[in-house]
Amino acid sequence: MAYLELKNVSFQYPNGYTAVENVSMEFEKGEKVAIIGQNGAGKTTTVKLMNGLLRPAKGEVLVGGTSTEKYTTAQIAKNVGYVFQNPDDQIFQDSIYKEIAFGLLKSGMGKAEIDKKVKETATLCGLENVLEEHPYNLSYSKRKFITIAAIVVMDPDVVILDEPTAGQDRDSTERLGKIMNWLTAKNKIVITITHDMEFVVKEFERVIVMAKKQKRRDASPKEIFWDEELLKFSNLKQPYICQFASLLGYRDVLTIDDMIGVTE
Amino acid sequence: MAEIILKNVNYQYPLEEKEVVCDFTYCFEQGKVYGLIGENESGKTTLCNIIRGFIPELYRGKLEGEILINGRKISSYDSGELASIVGYSFQNPFVQISGVKDNVYEEIAYGMENIGVPREQMIKRVDELVKMFHLEELVDKNPYELSGGQKQRVALASMIALDPEVVIMDEPTSQLDPKSTEDIFEIVNILKKQGKTIILIEHKIDLVAEYCDSILLMHQGELVMHGDAKDVLTDPKVLEYGGQLPQIVLYFLKQGKLKGNEIPLTVKEAVEKILKEAQR
Amino acid sequence: MDSRIGKLYPTTKFMITLLVVIISIFTPGYVLQYIMFPAFLIISLMAGTTKQFLNAFFKSIFIIILFIFAMQVFIITNEDQTPIWGFIHFSQAGLATSLSMTSKITAIASAIMTFFETTKVKDITYALEYAGTPRKVTFLISSTIQLIPQMSSLSKTITDAQKSRGIETEGGLMTRIKAFVPMLGPLVLSSIQQTEERVLALESRAFSAKGKKTSIYVLHKTGLDIVLEVLSVILLMGYVVWRVM
């Protein structure tokens, strides 16, 4: 049964601008999904509807079968965590430990248990050696991991990551993959907005394409990246290997191994 | 004529023990596009801060070694002078908005105003830049209200307004979507055609391969690899130092049929090569 | 701001404002001062800024005026007070004092508010720089004013981010107070942190270059400006002479 559901949601900003129209999607526990699309397609609005930051004008959002209507965003955050793109919009403590622990302090959890969880999450995010440091001692890209840790430690059932790969180097991108897999292994839902097509191919089996305020397709990377009409309409480009294969007349190639396979 | 020479440059931030840049020696030639790659915190931004003179002027710390721009020691330049010789653009679009102009047209002129360029000249230059960077629709807008990609383009235009010979771009597309990224690289191309020397810090290695002539790979503060793009970006050693290789290169390396710098760097090159082979 | 009044040179408007302020302070009585309110209302009508004027006036000044009246007439001890109920009394002297005070406040506030409502910050800084104010000072003024709407939109983003991590911001007073630090923290911290990069970005625009600055934006004094400025000076001198005599 779907844990997170958007049912025919539409949203309009106060100035009359419609950001999403009649969007429906479902997510089951343990799934990892990428949402891709040009800027302005409605991706961010859609995920903000998931955690209650925005409320649908039409349709409903269900978490665990219950509508989010009567809950505040902070309440929904227990189940649906959203890591913002800019970590500096969230960080306010003077040590990384405190920043990660902040959400747990209110939950009534015992100190020993909080300590254990914080250290576990910090290790997952590569921050185990800098827990006593001030968050701003770390570079911008490393600070992103602090906010990821702060959300993951709260143990929500859904974790939404907004462009986590922007500005990251190879090691950090790999670590992101590890974090996502750790979450899905614990039966969490991971939803990632990204522009990095190679990252999508490497890490996801399900991709949702958004374009012009609507969900256009929900399928595997192979189906999406070889749907030329969809890509053109959505103003998206294929990953480089697909472009290469396409220009040489091959189809349905997604990875380097695929390509080697067809050219033998 | 060599543009920027660095000899045995070492730098340590104040209160830090480790050197962030170690024994860096390199000569940047005029008119080439340099891709500066490597892991985060490998010293790339620090190096660029040194070339631009932000270190040691605005950052204290211990700087050793020689830095020459057009044959003169960097310390002999006035800070205002350097702005017209070495342009710098940053990763964060928001930070580059001057904050004192309420429309893009004047925003572009801001740097020129500071160095006292006569008004007629400024108007001519801004009109030129608006055309070059396709900013026509944005001229009356408040810079703060632009999207990230638009802000970045305006910031670049404002920087180019001072007509620097050298342009340093520090991860200009990190926070941008693919379309805006394309716009920025188009600008890189335009600047390249104008004969400017460009130093580009970027993670998007496939684009680096497409636009850069030479590559510098930094690892833990040291310059560990450097050379022509087609030599460096086809060498698997790059991966050992925390760098990345273009997708096409990874393909050919795995496939094993081509070696060394025979390997194409971009999709376009690869397709051309294969089609040529097929014709034989 | 595009009206004829908006287009007047800032110094002109400043001189008129100054004239009104001086006359209001040094003229005895209260009728002249109170008349300034409808006078500036008419000016606002001509400048198209009526809404802002009335808004600003009634949201702040009016409340202060009512407060002063209440205090002076009914509460503060005066010699001629006649008791009404408990500690509330009526004082004729208090009434006179409050009329005098509030009329001056009305006049000065009307003039100053109208000045800022009909003059772009841009024009003020232009006039200041033209008069020789260093760039660094005008930079501080302009960038601070422009930053205010940005800060408010940034606060909204921060609030959203903090809500998304479980910090409750909606609800009763206690809840909002507890949410204060998580809201202000990132704003202050990120502003400080950004300042470093901002300084570098400004350096790239030759901010600290020495020498004369130019401006792509120009503002000229028109004939009307000169007439009004001369008039203001004459009126001021005339007033001083009249008061001294």
DSSP output for chain C: --STTTTS-HHHHHHHHHHHHHHHHHS-SSHHHHHHHHHHHHHHHHHT-HHHHHHHIIIIIHHHHHHHHIIIIIIS--TT-EEEETTEEE-HHHHHHHHHHHHHHHHHHHHHHHHHHHS-HHHHHHHHHHTT--HHHHHHHHHHHHHHHHHHHHHHHHHHHHHTTT---SSSHHHHHHTHHHHHHHHHHHHHHHHHHHHHHHHTTTTT--S----SS-----HHHHHHHHHHHHHHHHHHHHHH-
| pTM for this model (two decimals) | 0.88
Asked if residue C105 and residue C14 are part of one domain, the reply reads yes
Distance from CA of A200 to the nearest CA of B (A): 14
Give the whole-angstrom CA distance, residue A188 versus residue A179: 11
Q: Walk along chain B (280 residues) and give the pLDDT tens digit of each residue.
A: 458 999 999 999 887 778 899 999 999 999 999 999 999 989 999 999 999 999 888 888 889 999 999 989 999 988 778 888 999 999 888 899 998 999 999 999 999 999 999 999 999 999 999 999 999 999 999 999 898 899 999 999 999 999 999 999 999 999 888 988 999 999 999 999 999 999 999 999 999 999 999 999 999 999 999 999 999 999 999 999 999 999 999 999 999 989 888 999 999 999 999 999 888 7
* A114, A142 contact by CB (below 8 A): no
Q: Which of C164, C180, C197 to mutate to test the interface with A (most CBs of A within 10 A)?
A: C164
CB of B279 less than 8 A from some CB of A: no
More confidently predicted of A49 and C153: A49
Q: Which of B171, B179, B206 sits opposite A240 (nearest CB)?
A: B206
CB of C82 less than 8 A from some CB of A: no
- The average pLDDT across A104-112 equals 86
* Residue that is written with structure tokens 């622990």 in the block: A101
Chain A partners within 8 Å of C193 (Cβ): 88, 136
Asked if residue C58 and residue C17 are part of one domain, the reply reads yes
In a domain, C2, yes or no: no
Q: Among all residues of chain A, which has the CA nearest to that of B269?
A: A244
Chain B partners within 8 Å of C215 (Cβ): 113, 119
Contact between B177 and A260 using a beta-carbon 8 Å cutoff: no
Asked if residue C181 and residue C147 are part of one domain, the reply reads yes
Q: Among all residues of chain B, which has the CA nearest to that of C144?
A: B99
In the stretch 125-144 of chain B, residues with CB closer than 8 A to chain C read 126, 144
Asked if residue C229 and residue C115 are part of one domain, the reply reads yes
Chain A partners within 8 Å of B203 (Cβ): 167-169
Which residues are A81's β-sheet partners? A159
Distance from CA of A91 to the nearest CA of C (A): 6
Q: In one letter, which amino acid is A80? A: V
CB of B80 less than 8 A from some CB of C: yes
Distance from CA of C188 to the nearest CA of A (A): 9
Residue C15, φ and ψ in degrees, nearest 5 = -65, -40
> Which of left, alpha, beta for A69 (phi over 0: left; psi -120 to 50: alpha)?
alpha
Contact between A38 and B179 using a beta-carbon 8 Å cutoff: yes
Give the whole-angstrom CA distance, residue C125 versus residue C141: 8
Distance from CA of C116 to the nearest CA of A (A): 28
Residue B262, φ and ψ in degrees, nearest 5 = -75, -20
Asked if residue C107 and residue C41 are part of one domain, the reply reads yes
H-assigned helices in chain B: 44-52, 54-57, 79-83, 104-114, 119-132, 148-160, 178-193, 205-211, 229-232, 237-240, 247-255, 267-279
Per-residue pLDDT of A117-153, as tens digits, reads 999 999 999 999 999 999 998 988 899 999 999 999 9
ipTM of the complex: 0.90
Contact between B180 and A168 using a beta-carbon 8 Å cutoff: no
CB of B178 less than 8 A from some CB of A: yes
Q: Which of B40, B149, B175 sits opposite A172 (nearest CB)?
A: B40
Residue length, chain B? 280
CB contacts < 8 A (B, C): 108
Q: Per-residue pLDDT for A242 more than 80? A: yes
* C31, C99 contact by CB (below 8 A): no
As for how many domains chain C has, the answer is 2
Q: Among all residues of chain B, which has the CA nearest to that of C205?
A: B111
pLDDT of residue B2: 57
* C6, C119 contact by CB (below 8 A): yes
In a domain, C168, yes or no: yes
Give the whole-angstrom CA distance, residue A200 versus residue A192: 9
In a domain, C216, yes or no: no
Lowest mean pLDDT of A166-170, B266-270, C168-172, name the range: C168-172
Q: Per-residue pLDDT for C243 more than 80? A: yes
pLDDT of residue B136: 95
Collect all residues from C whose CB is shorter than 8 A from any CB in B: 120, 122, 125, 135, 138-139, 142-143, 146-147, 149-150, 194, 197-218
Distance from CA of A107 to the nearest CA of B (A): 34
- The average pLDDT across A175-200 equals 97
Contact between A241 and B246 using a beta-carbon 8 Å cutoff: no
Q: Which residues make Cβ contacts (< 8 Å) with residue C183, sequence separation at least 6?
A: C155, C158, C159, C162, C169
Contact between B80 and C204 using a beta-carbon 8 Å cutoff: no
Rg (CA), chain A: 19
Contact between B178 and A263 using a beta-carbon 8 Å cutoff: no
Give the whole-angstrom CA distance, residue B238 versus residue A175: 19
In a domain, C4, yes or no: no
Q: Among all residues of chain A, which has the CA nearest to that of B178?
A: A195
In a domain, C229, yes or no: yes
CB contacts < 8 A (A, B): 72
Q: Which residues make Cβ contacts (< 8 Å) with residue C99, sequence separation at least 6?
A: C30
Distance from CA of A205 to the nearest CA of B (A): 20
pLDDT of residue B186: 92
Per-residue pLDDT of A4-36, as tens digits, reads 999 999 999 998 899 999 999 999 999 999 999
Q: How confident is the model at residue A188 (pLDDT cuts 50, 70, 90)?
A: very high
Contact between A89 and C171 using a beta-carbon 8 Å cutoff: no
Asked if residue C86 and residue C14 are part of one domain, the reply reads yes
CB of B90 less than 8 A from some CB of A: no
Chain B partners within 8 Å of C120 (Cβ): 102
Q: Roughly what angle, to the nearest 10 degrees, separates helices A140-152 and A96-105?
A: 20
Q: Which residues make Cβ contacts (< 8 Å) with residue A263, sequence separation at least 6?
A: A250, B255
Asked if residue C226 and residue C113 are part of one domain, the reply reads yes
Q: Which of C204, C205, C216 sits opposite B122 (nearest CB)?
A: C216
Q: How confident is the model at residue C2 (pLDDT cuts 50, 70, 90)?
A: low
Asked if residue C138 and residue C110 are part of one domain, the reply reads no
* Residue that is written with structure tokens 């302090």 in the block: A105
In a domain, C227, yes or no: yes
Q: How confident is the model at residue C30 (pLDDT cuts 50, 70, 90)?
A: confident
Asked if residue C174 and residue C82 are part of one domain, the reply reads no
Contact between A90 and C162 using a beta-carbon 8 Å cutoff: yes
* B130, B139 contact by CB (below 8 A): yes
CB of C21 less than 8 A from some CB of A: no
In a domain, C210, yes or no: no
* A178, A202 contact by CB (below 8 A): no
C218 exposed, middle or buried (CB, 10 Å; 0-12, 13-18, 19+)? exposed
Give the whole-angstrom CA distance, residue B174 versus residue C232: 56
Q: Which of C119, C128, C216 to mutate to test the interface with B (most CBs of B within 10 A)?
A: C216
Question: Cβ of C13: how many Cβ atoms within 10 Å?
Answer: 26
In a domain, C166, yes or no: yes
Q: How far apart are the first and last CA of chain B?
A: 42
Q: How confident is the model at residue A186 (pLDDT cuts 50, 70, 90)?
A: very high
Contact between B270 and A139 using a beta-carbon 8 Å cutoff: no
Q: Among all residues of chain B, which has the CA nearest to that of C207?
A: B114
Give the whole-angstrom CA distance, residue A145 versus residue C73: 63
Per-residue pLDDT of A57-102, as tens digits, reads 999 999 999 999 999 898 999 999 999 989 998 899 999 999 999 9
- The average pLDDT across A154-182 equals 95
CB of A47 less than 8 A from some CB of B: no
Give the containing element (helix H, strand E) for B228.
Answer: strand B222-228
Residue length, chain C? 245
Contact between C166 and A136 using a beta-carbon 8 Å cutoff: no
Q: Which chains touch C (3 or more CB pairs under 8 A)?
A: A, B
Distance from CA of A246 to the nearest CA of C (A): 41
Asked if residue C185 and residue C86 are part of one domain, the reply reads no
Which structure tokens are listed for C120?
């772009």
Q: How far apart are the first and last CA of chain A?
A: 43
- Say which DSSP state B63 is in: E
Q: Per-residue pLDDT for C94 more than 90? A: no
Q: Which of B52, B74, B113, B146 to mutate to test the interface with C (most CBs of C within 10 A)?
A: B113
Residue B126, classed as helix, strand or coil, is: helix
Domain range for C65 is: 10-119+222-244
CB of A98 less than 8 A from some CB of B: no
Give the whole-angstrom CA distance, residue C35 versus residue C37: 5
Q: Which chains touch B (3 or more CB pairs under 8 A)?
A: A, C
Asked if residue C141 and residue C110 are part of one domain, the reply reads no
Contact between B159 and C204 using a beta-carbon 8 Å cutoff: yes
Asked if residue C185 and residue C67 are part of one domain, the reply reads no
Contact between C216 and B162 using a beta-carbon 8 Å cutoff: no
Chain C partners within 8 Å of A81 (Cβ): 164-165
Contact between A154 and C170 using a beta-carbon 8 Å cutoff: no
Give the whole-angstrom CA distance, residue C53 versus residue A100: 48
Contact between A72 and C182 using a beta-carbon 8 Å cutoff: no
Contact between C216 and B78 using a beta-carbon 8 Å cutoff: no
